[in-house]
Amino acid sequence: MKQLLSNTELFALLQTIQQSKHIVICAHRGPDGDAVGSSLGWADYLTSLGKQVNIVLPNPFPDFLRWLPNSHLIHFYVKHEAAATQIINQADLIFCLDFNSLSRLQEMQTAVARAKADKVIIDHHLDPDRTCAKQVISFPSASSTSELVFRLIHQLGGFDSMTRNGAACIYTGMMTDTGGFTYNSNNPEIYEIISLLLTKEIDKDKIYRNVFNVYSADRMRLTGYVLYEKLHFYARNRASIFTLTREEMKRFNFIRGDAEGLVNMPLQVKGMRLSISLREDTERDVVRVSLRSVDDFPCNKMAEEFFNGGGHLNASGGELPFPLEEAVKTAERAIEAYSEKL
Ligand code: 5GP
Ligand code: MN
């Protein structure tokens, strides 16, 4: 397996870890499988070194990740702001996982920015903000932050003491960020990593079911409703848009995570290259945008240009601070503007 860091970088990281006692790990708002999986996997490693580790996330993760070992120990800033701020203030080292700029922490941004602790970014998004961290471990070519965490642990010599729980969390992050190894997953070394994780006796088939086959009946109906009534194809441009209002989410007893994966489905139509989902946020007055594409269509460029966001080539997101009807118009303009590439 290729070494991720140069000797100098590895030594710097090791020294930073050795000099710290109380470590906080944080990840982006709206934590997904990779954010939570990489955090728990990294915590498993740091704990094996005898460090006191706390994971603090801006807001809760979806229910389908609740089975992840030790996820019940995670703190949520929006739920216990004072306690979370205290943990962040007391840290002497903060790892920022799966995001490239403190703004992705939203309401938790100030607390982390103000903390006296050194920060180290471990991430696979483009253009990390290098001003806010002592060390930036950024590999946009990696499939997931969980993959990076595995490679770091391996290079730091921590693989032998990796627990089955830690391995399961890392596998989950790698699996979710690649849609079950169906996109962004052609690097042969991914499968080397998986075979090493399997030596820890994780049950990858069960992990798949735990994450992907846990729909509620309401969620299944919501899928049917969206595909039948809400999905608009822009066939000339090989793109589609669907919207989801708060009222509709309420009708289908929507819970956090119910929209996950929905945006991938229109790409199952032959020839489709781009899928856009526009969803009213349940907490704030914004429209959450998700973009998915295949082949070389650059979702991240479109997200930056039209949706105040960014992300990866084939999976990006952002948000629009205005009503859904206007968001649809913006999305249609984006499709038109990119028709050449579609
Ligand atoms: P999702 O559609 O699952 O919410 O997000 C897909 C990917 O897009 C995420 O992994 C992340 O890289 C990126 N992304 C989502 N929302 C935002 C956002 O608001 N800003 C930026 N810069 N990237 C985002
Ligand atoms: Mn990720």
Q: Which domains are present in the chain? A: 7-212 (3.90.1640.10), 217-341 (3.10.310.30)
Tokens of 298: 């650059």
Q: What's the confidence (pLDDT) of residue 191?
A: 98
The pLDDT mean for the chain works out to: 97
Q: What percent of the chain has pLDDT over 70?
A: 100
pLDDT band, residue 252 (cuts 50/70/90): very high
Ligand 1 touching residue 125 (CB < 6 A): yes
Mean pLDDT across 283-302: 96
Mean pLDDT across 167-194: 96
Q: What residues pair up with 242 in beta bridges, in sequence order?
A: 277
Task: For residue 302, give the ligand nearest its CA.
Answer: 1
**Residue 127, SS3 per DSSP:** coil
User: Is the per-residue pLDDT at 281 higher than 90?
Assistant: yes
Mean pLDDT across 89-113: 97
Q: What's the confidence (pLDDT) of residue 283?
A: 87
- Is 307 within 8 Å of 273 (Cβ atoms)? no
Q: What is the pLDDT of residues 202-242, one digit of tens each?
A: 999 999 999 999 999 999 999 999 999 999 999 899 999 99
User: Is the per-residue pLDDT at 173 higher than 90?
Assistant: yes
CA of 34 from ligand 2 middle (Å) equals 5
Q: What is the pLDDT of residues 295-334, one digit of tens each?
A: 999 999 999 999 999 998 999 999 999 999 999 999 999 9
Q: What is the pLDDT of residues 41-61, one digit of tens each?
A: 999 999 999 999 999 999 999
pLDDT band, residue 115 (cuts 50/70/90): very high
CA of 251 from ligand 2 middle (Å) equals 31
Pairing of strands 287-293, 274-280: antiparallel
Q: What residues pair up with 293 in beta bridges, in sequence order?
A: 274
Q: What's the confidence (pLDDT) of residue 208?
A: 98
pLDDT band, residue 70 (cuts 50/70/90): very high
Mean pLDDT across 179-184: 92
Q: What does the DSSP 8-state code read for residue 342?
A: -
User: Is the per-residue pLDDT at 74 higher than 90?
Assistant: yes
Mean pLDDT across 240-250: 98
Q: How far apart are CA 295 and CA 274, in angstroms?
A: 10
Q: What's the confidence (pLDDT) of residue 19?
A: 98
CA of 299 from ligand 1 middle (Å) equals 10
Q: Where are the alpha helices (DSSP H) in 19-177?
A: 33-48, 81-90, 109-114, 145-155, 164-177
Q: How far apart are CA 294 and CA 272, in angstroms?
A: 8
Q: What's the confidence (pLDDT) of residue 235?
A: 86
Q: What's the confidence (pLDDT) of residue 13?
A: 98
Question: What DSSP assignment string belongs to 174-228?
Answer: HHHHTTTTTSS---HHHHHHHHHHHTTT--HHHHHHHHHS---HHHHHHHHHIII
Residue ID of nearest Cα to ligand 1 atom 6:
316
Q: What's the confidence (pLDDT) of residue 78?
A: 97
- Is 37 within 8 Å of 66 (Cβ atoms)? no
Q: Which amino acid is at 124?
A: H
Mean pLDDT across 68-74: 98
- Is 172 within 8 Å of 61 (Cβ atoms)? no
Ligand 1 touching residue 311 (CB < 6 A): yes
Q: How far apart are CA 13 and CA 159, in angstroms?
A: 16
Q: How far apart are CA 301 and CA 322, in angstroms?
A: 21
Residue 93 CA from chain centroid, whole number: 22
CA of 111 from ligand 2 middle (Å) equals 22
The model's pTM: 0.92
User: Is the per-residue pLDDT at 32 higher than 90?
Assistant: yes
- Is 236 within 8 Å of 90 (Cβ atoms)? no
What does the longest C-alpha to C-alpha distance in the chain come to?
58
Q: What's the confidence (pLDDT) of residue 256?
A: 87
Q: How far apart are CA 65 and CA 38, in angstroms?
A: 12
Ligand 1 touching residue 290 (CB < 6 A): yes
